[in-house]
């Protein structure tokens, strides 16, 4: 565990042991210049609908059916799904060297042995200063509900969405894949059930409700801002990382990943990676062994109606371009960052830059919208049209997107 910066609240990764047990650091957010202090750890992003971008790969679609009815019955969910939830043990250190160990959770998603978990469960993410230096565990073992333990192979990981994929030999143990749901349909107030191994207490059940959706959280596994986390009040703790979050019909809607806490233990604010984001990661990792995200190279803030009125902008909503990264796609395309500052309602905004209001015709009402479109709808090498407001005029700026670098450019 590397030294952490001082923060008012800790966000704790749900890994038990020597690999990223606790990390506390001030988060810079999607943009700089805000006065809000938050803290970091793990999170994600789903697509808005269950389309090709969020559907599970055909090879890992479970034969398990959603539970009948809409009543929330935790005992029924546990009885039907707990056999598909596993405990994961990761060992770090080569050739007999003394190393660290971590314990997390995971769940079976295919009959051929594919298991979803968090990237920080099976890698050194969270311990390394740079994402490019993250390495996988030297040994990974999976323990099933009946106590049987088998070796597993790491297939890959996605540090941007904190998703990891491992595989076990189906000949070594009977597998019970769990069905994947649609996290875009999750609503605030609906009941959820988390199954995992907090503090190595295997296959434990916790229940609660969805407290919020579309949360933007600083990530443990990379320097980028991750969006659309599902906030829950179900008590999850160290060791729950990588475990499934089920809806009332026993479908996985998220991967439990972190808690926000002053004590280091559950205090009713947990976060899960939306399963739609995990499906995207899973598909790319199974096909290519790696993931790719489109990259623009800008920092943004939200244009609010109050700020628009103050500055007499021609739009009420949009994404303010605060800063443009040197030699990035945005700079090469001619997008402009802010040059002035404005104080409004206790906040400082960097203004004077372009205001993005649409990308390829899709409306952009915030910095989060911009990130969703770029990361979920576009690909590296694609040319996208950014519709921006500049000096009172609307311009269409073509931007040739590149691949997002692992390390956040300085």
| Catalytic residue annotation | 120, 162, 241
The three-state secondary structure class of 225 is: strand
Distance from C-alpha of 245 to C-alpha of 232, rounded to nearest angstrom = 10
First-residue to last-residue Cα distance in the chain: 24
Residue 245 contacts by C-beta under 8 Å, 6 or more apart in sequence?
192, 193, 194, 230, 232, 234, 252, 253, 254, 255, 256, 272
**Do residues 125 and 131 make contact, with C-beta atoms less than 8 angstroms apart?**
yes
> CB-based burial of residue 203 (10 Å sphere; 0-12 exposed, 13-18 middle, 19+ buried)?
buried
**Do residues 5 and 22 make contact, with C-beta atoms less than 8 angstroms apart?**
no
**Do residues 297 and 331 make contact, with C-beta atoms less than 8 angstroms apart?**
yes
Q: Looking up tokens 């994947």, which residue turns up?
A: 180
Closest by CA position to 300, among listed 347, 362, 365, 363: 365
Hey, CA dihedral for 212, 215, 218, 223, is it positive or negative? positive
């Amino acid at each position: 565990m590397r030294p952490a910066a001082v923060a008012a609240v800790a966000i704790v990764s749900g890994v038990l042991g020597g690999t990223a047990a606790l990390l506390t650091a001030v988060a810079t957010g999607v943009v700089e210049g805000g006065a809000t202090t938050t803290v970091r750890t793990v999170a994600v992003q789903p697509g808005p609908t269950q389309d090709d971008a969020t559907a599970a790969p055909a090879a890992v679609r479970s034969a398990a059916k959603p539970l009948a009815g809409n009543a929330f019955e935790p005992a029924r969910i546990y009885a039907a799904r707990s056999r598909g939830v596993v405990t994961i043990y990761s060992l770090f250190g080569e050739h007999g060297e003394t190393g660290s160990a971590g314990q997390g959770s995971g769940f079976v998603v295919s009959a051929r042995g594919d298991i979803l978990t968090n990237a920080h469960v099976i890698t050194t993410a969270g311990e390394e200063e740079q994402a490019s230096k993250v390495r996988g565990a030297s040994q990974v073992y999976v323990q099933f509900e009946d106590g049987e333990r088998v070796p597993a192979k790491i297939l890959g990981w996605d540090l941007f969405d904190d998703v990891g994929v491992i595989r076990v030999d189906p000949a070594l143990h009977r597998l019970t894949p769990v069905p994947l749901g649609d996290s875009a349909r999750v609503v605030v107030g609906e009941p959820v059930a988390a199954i995992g191994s907090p503090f190595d207490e295997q296959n434990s059940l916790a229940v609660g409700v969805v407290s919020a959706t579309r949360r933007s959280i600083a990530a443990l596994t990379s320097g980028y801002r991750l969006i659309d986390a599902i906030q829950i009040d179900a008590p999850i703790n160290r060791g729950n990382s990588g475990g499934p979050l089920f809806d009332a019909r026993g479908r996985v809607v998220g991967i439990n990943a972190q808690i926000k806490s002053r004590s280091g233990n559950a205090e009713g604010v947990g976060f899960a990676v939306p399963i739609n984001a995990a499906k995207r990661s899973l598909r790319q990792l199974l096909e290519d062994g790696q993931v790719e995200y489109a990259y623009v190279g800008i920092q943004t803030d939200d244009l609010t109606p109050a700020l628009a009125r103050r500055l007499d902008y021609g739009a009420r909503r949009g994404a303010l371009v605060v800063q443009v990264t040197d030699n990035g796609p945005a700079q090469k395309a001619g997008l402009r960052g802010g040059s002035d500052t404005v104080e409004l309602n206790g906040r400082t905004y960097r203004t004077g830059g372009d205001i993005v209001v649409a990308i390829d015709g899709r409306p952009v009402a915030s910095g989060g919208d911009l990130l969703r479109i770029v990361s979920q709808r576009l690909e590296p090498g694609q040319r996208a049209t950014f519709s921006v407001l500049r000096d009172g005029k609307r311009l269409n700026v073509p931007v040739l997107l590149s691949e997002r670098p692992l390390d956040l450019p300085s």
